[in-house]
């Protein structure tokens, strides 16, 4: 089985990277591409929300906590209010459990300290595969 592909349709999983840090953008993009995802990058929460509002579909969103214009928690709340069921995983450099829990409360499916590792992305892939 090739990670990142849907066995029934052979289409790749699509991931949206919402992060204003160009280093994190590149790390996550290459990591996800290696694991079979198609990726798109936006630099703030508003761009993420606008993409979904325009009808774009993603299997996974990596949502940075702190971004200009619209931050991760606000973008997550708006996406959930729109009825978006996509797996949204928060990424943050804030390691305090209380800060992560506050971000989770916005509607995340999971939250991790960035940058994500291959092991974490692989575990997310397995969850995505089970949800198909």
Partner 1 sequence: MDRNNLQRQVAYTRRSLFDQGYLDDQFIQLEDLQDDANPNFVEEIVTLFYSDSSRLIHSIEQALENRPLDFGRLDNYMHQFKGSCSSIGAKKVKSECTQFREYCNAENAEGCTRTFQQVKQELAILRRKLEAYFQLARQAGGAQAG
Contact residues for partner 1, defined by CB under 8 A: 21-24, 26-27, 30-31, 33-34, 66, 93-94, 114-115, 117-118
Least distance CB 56 / partner 1 (angstroms) = 25
CB closer to partner 1, 117 vs 131: 117
Residue 115 Cβ vs partner 1, minimum distance, rounded to whole Å? 5
- CA 99 to chain centroid: 18
* Beta carbon of residue 71, minimum distance to partner 1 (angstroms, whole number): 13
Q: Which is nearer to partner 1, 19 or 78 (CB)?
A: 19
Q: Which is nearer to partner 1, 5 or 33 (by Cβ)?
A: 33
């Amino acid at each position: 089985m090739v990670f990142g592909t849907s066995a029934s349709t052979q289409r790749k999983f699509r991931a949206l990277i919402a992060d204003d840090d160009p280093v994190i953008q590149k790390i996550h993009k290459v990591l996800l591409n290696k694991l079979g995802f198609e990726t798109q990058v936006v630099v703030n929460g508003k761009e993420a929300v606008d993409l979904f509002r325009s009808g774009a579909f993603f299997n996974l969103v990596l949502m940075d906590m702190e971004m200009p214009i619209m931050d991760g928690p606000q973008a997550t709340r708006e996406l959930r209010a729109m009825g978006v069921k996509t797996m949204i995983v928060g990424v943050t450099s804030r390691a305090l459990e209380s800060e992560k829990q506050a971000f989770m409360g916005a509607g995340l499916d999971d939250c991790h300290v960035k940058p994500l590792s291959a092991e974490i992305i692989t575990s997310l892939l397995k969850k995505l595969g089970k949800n198909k």
